Amino acid sequence: MNYVSTRDKSVKVTAAQAISQGISTEGGLFVPDTFKVFTAEDFKKMSAMSYIERAKYVLSNFLNDFTAEEIDYCVKGAYTGSFDEEQPAPLADIGDGINMLELWHGPTCAFKDLALQLLPYLLTTSAKKVSKGKKIVILVATSGDTGKAALEGFCDVPDTEIIVFYPSEGVSPMQKLQMASQKGENVYVCAIKGNFDDAQTGVKKIFTDNAVKEKLAQNNMQFSSANSINWGRLAPQIVYYISAYCDLVNQGKDVSRGFNVVVPTGNFGNILAAYYAKKMGVPIGKLICASNANNVLTDFINKGVYNRNRDFYTTVSPSMDILISSNLERMLFELSGNDDKAVAKMQSDLAKSGMFTVSEDIKAKIDELFWGGCCDDTATLETIGKVFREKNYLCDTHTAVALNVYEQYKKETGDNRTTVIASTASPYKFAKSVLDAVSDKKADTEFDNVRLLSDVTKTQAPAPIKALENAVVRFEGEIEKETMLDSVFGALKIK
Ligand SMILES: *Cc1c(COP(=O)(O)O)cnc(C)c1O
């Protein structure tokens, strides 16, 4: 297998090239040209394995130019010691056939760790193969969780620099503190005046600017991306859906009619990984796409029209405050039967007019695969309170959106199959909102919120959150979005 660009299939590269480059030169995203389909025998084997062994089994199908030793080194390095349980992605059964896939037991308490603990290994191994000696410069635009997870993953990794841009008013206080206090000699964090889409658009522009690329090359540097446009982010996410299926089987759950997956969605990376797992043979039924008030994807799934020309809302689930879902491009490539011309046209329509419409054929496939729903902040907080009271399960604001949309789905369709809900962050990352949802008590500071939440719910805050209270802020201030490039050159100390 090889990787091709979603906008030009004649561009063919290996895994190492796709991962070290991040994005194709004409702006398309790299996707595998074929997918392994696992047999019953494969699943039986994987069911008996540890998470690390499962990850190696799955990833060896994607890392076509990595040796078995390299894959072993990368996967073991990523998942040994960095997660607070034997099992990095455990399932919690909360009754009514609902299994929470808890993806927040890593160092930054959000699901991004599952991919971003591994990406630095994949990237540095790739770079050794394809761009010997060049320093890798990671540029990240973040709506909160990616930034910290990437900083943590790349912190002091030799021959890398990492620069993170986040919208100054678009992240939670805890997320901001996590990033602003990041340690490491090779890290740089910058708040911009604007929203996530501004940050993402700015980063994409810097990435695809040939003059900038040239200047980096003169300094023996090369850009890469830790955003989910990088295939190295997506592949590790496929693993946990496959692993979840093995766990359901091991636990004797009813998967005779398959199981549904619900994903709180922003950039469409996580739910796309679930789709790929389905394509690789996991018996997933509906892919339920849950959005907050920024419901551009709900409308897209229901109407077949993607239209970003709408108000942007800052919500209590900030990691989903996104109007341009980058990874939808990969889904469109799938849905169109790998039609690169059609994808390129839709993406250029999106860039020009902020919208595109899919063909009837694609719309029919969307109806078959997906169900889309959304809820606002009030419903999100009500859901946190209800689930805590009725099931004694405390979830974060993003996961609550998924739980709420799942209830809507069940009510409308009556489909009560076994279900996996992606639980994407620790409730303590959004302590104030979660506390408001379960109690009338009020606290003054963010860490008082954490303590109060712990008292009220009789749950423990994760150690990395507690440790933040004494962290020293290293990065302050904010910049205009037009000056992002200056910040990049400043951080890299080049003119
Ligand atoms: C990033 C994030 C999401 C959205 O995931 P996408 O892959 O961008 O769709 C949802 N919840 C949390 C907590 C996140 O950090």
Question: Alpha-carbon distance 447 to 463, whole Å?
Answer: 13
Give the whole-angstrom CA distance, residue 414 versus residue 424.
Answer: 25
Confidence of residue 143 (pLDDT cuts 50, 70, 90): confident
Residue that is written with structure tokens 């008013």 in the block? 169
Q: How far apart are CA 95 and CA 229, in angstroms?
A: 35
Ligand 1 neighbourhood includes 320 CB (under 6 angstroms):
yes
C-beta separation of 343 from 336 below 8 A: yes
Q: Is 270 in the pocket of ligand 1 (CB under 6 A)?
A: yes
Best substitution site from 104, 140, 148, 267 to test ligand 1's pocket, by max atoms within 8 Å of Cβ? 267
Is 110 touching ligand 1 by the criterion CB < 6 Å?
yes
Query: Which atom of ligand 1 has the smallest separation from the CA of 143?
Result: 1
Question: Considering the entire predicted model, what is its pTM?
Answer: 0.94
Ligand 1 lined by 265 (C-beta under 6 Å): yes
Q: Assign 197 a pLDDT band (cuts: 50, 70, 90).
A: confident
DSSP string, 429-448: GGHHHHHHHH-S---SSHHH
Q: Find the 373 Cα to ligand 1 centroid distance in Å.
A: 16
**Distance, CA 143 to ligand 1 centroid (Å)?**
9
What pLDDT digit, counting tens, does each position of 292-348 carry?
999 999 999 999 999 999 999 999 999 999 999 999 999 999 999 999 999 999 999
What structural domains and CATH numbers belong to the chain? 1-126+230-461 (3.40.50.1100)
Predicted confidence (pLDDT) at residue 370 exceeds the cutoff of 80: yes
User: d(Cα 102, Cα 100) in Å, to the nearest integer?
Assistant: 6
What's the pLDDT score for residue 163? Answer: 97
